[in-house]
Amino acid sequence: DLPSIQKRGYLIVGLSADYAPLEFHTTIDGQDTIVGADVAMAKNLASSMGVKLQLKEMQFDALIGALKTHKVDMIISGMSETPDREKQVTFSKPYLEERQVVLIRKSDAKKYHTIADFSNAK
Ligand code: ARG
């Protein structure tokens, strides 16, 4: 809980850093570093708690077990809600909903309506 994290001085966030743009490895100043939107969010959270952030990287499938056995304080790893996970852990409210689109020119809008309209086969 929060008091024990503050006493310890750092928040331990579990993640699997193989999921760009949310968490992934990159090289900064010659140093391998884990970055991404989830990492930025974890940093903000730690700073609002007044503690440092420790990222604990592991296989995605190991995350829930690590949370249940107190190896991490929370998971921030692009994880979605599923009924099986819901049985084991408590979810926050969703913080990201992906709704990306492909964009084309207005002048082409009448010509293309579905993927099939881009096919040679038709
Ligand atoms: N959103 C999907 C899930 O919850 C995939 C997440 C993968 N995340 C990762 N850090 N590899 O199952």
Ligand 1 midpoint to CA 41 (Å): 16
ipTM attached to this prediction: 0.96
CATH for 69: 3.40.190.10
Q: Spell out the residues 6+ positions from residue 91 whose beta carbon is closer than 8 angstroms to its own.
A: 81, 85
Atom of ligand 1 nearest to the CA of 60: 11
Q: Is it the case that residue 115 has pLDDT exceeding 90? A: no
110: helix, strand or coil: coil
Residues with CB under 6 A from ligand 1: 16, 18-19, 23, 60, 77-80
Q: Name the percent of the chain lying above pLDDT 70.
A: 99
The reply to whether 83 falls in a domain is yes
The reply to whether 107 falls in a domain is no
Confidence of residue 122 (pLDDT cuts 50, 70, 90): low
* pLDDT tens digits, one per residue of 11-45: 999 999 999 999 999 999 999 999 999 999 999 99
Q: Please give the residue range of the domain that contains residue 49.
A: 2-88
What token pair was written down for 69?
């056995």
pLDDT at 70: 97
Q: What is the mean pLDDT of residues 103-119?
A: 93
54: helix, strand or coil: strand
Per the CB < 8 A criterion, the answer to whether 13 and 52 are in contact is no
Closest by CA position to 80, among listed 66, 68, 65, 63: 63
